[in-house]
Amino acid sequence: MGEGFDVLLIDGRSGSGKTSLAARIVRELRGAGAEPQLLRVEDLYPGWDGLAAGSGALSEVLDEGRYRRYDWYAGAFAEEHRIDLRAPLVIEGCGAITVRNLAAARRWAVRAVGERAVVRSLWLDCPDGVRRSRALARDGESYAPHWDRWAAQEDALYAVHEPWRLADETRLS
């Protein structure tokens, strides 16, 4: 499947560089002839107060091999997407790395390639001021009013799951 992994989970707080890194990895894999798929955990959050729910939904999505994408403009879940067992999977987003999600990623990968499956996880870390600047530059004023409440959800979720302790690697971005 992928270069060194069958499933890669990338987690970190908002603005830490997850989306950019995932896009770069997908581009590199495509350049090497693979056809990776990208699952953004933000497609599973049911709105601005849904970080824990979206993170919690990821394991079920991997077990079922499908999900409905949350449409942030409509404020509702929209079209269904399937996850192809024949292609490497990159999962990125706040709440990606939990014990439950790692176990589901392993089950998905074993179904895809068998016991030789490789699941990797990466925690991205970045100073708060840099993260905020990046996130607001990326999403502009649509994100600004939600920054504090999203950060509070990150604090709560990460206090329970401590993904930096579960990750195979931590990287400063």
H-run or E-run covering 170 = strand 169-172
Determine the Cα–Cα distance for residues 59 and 47; give it in Å rounded to an integer: 19
List domains and CATH numbers for the chain: 7-172 (3.40.50.300)
Q: 141 burial class (0-12, 13-18, 19+ CB within 10 angstroms)?
A: exposed
Q: What is the 3-state secondary structure (H, E, C) of 63-108?
A: HHCEEEEEECCCCEEEEEEECCCCCCEEEECCCCCCHHHHHHHHHH
Cβ-based neighbour number of residue 130 at 10 Å:
13
Cα–Cα distance for residue pair 5/94, rounded to 1 Å: 20
pLDDT at 3 over 60: no
Q: How far apart are CA 114 and CA 107, in angstroms?
A: 9
Q: Are 11 and 123 in contact (CB under 8 A)?
A: yes
Q: Is 101 exposed, middle or buried (0-12, 13-18, 19+ CB in 10 A)?
A: buried
Give pLDDT, residue 125: 93
Measure the N-to-C terminal CA separation of the chain; round to a whole number of Å. Answer: 26
Residue type, 103: A
Model confidence band, residue 110 (pLDDT cutoffs 50, 70, 90): very high
What percent of the chain has a predicted confidence (pLDDT) above 90?
A: 82
Q: Reply yes or no on whether the pLDDT at 51 is more than 50.
A: yes
168 neighbors 5 (Cβ within 8 angstroms): no
Q: Taking residues 121-137, what's their average pLDDT?
A: 87
- pTM over cut 0.95: no
Residue 138 has a pLDDT of 80
Question: pLDDT grade, residue 9 (50/70/90)?
Answer: very high
Percent share of the chain, pLDDT over 70: 98
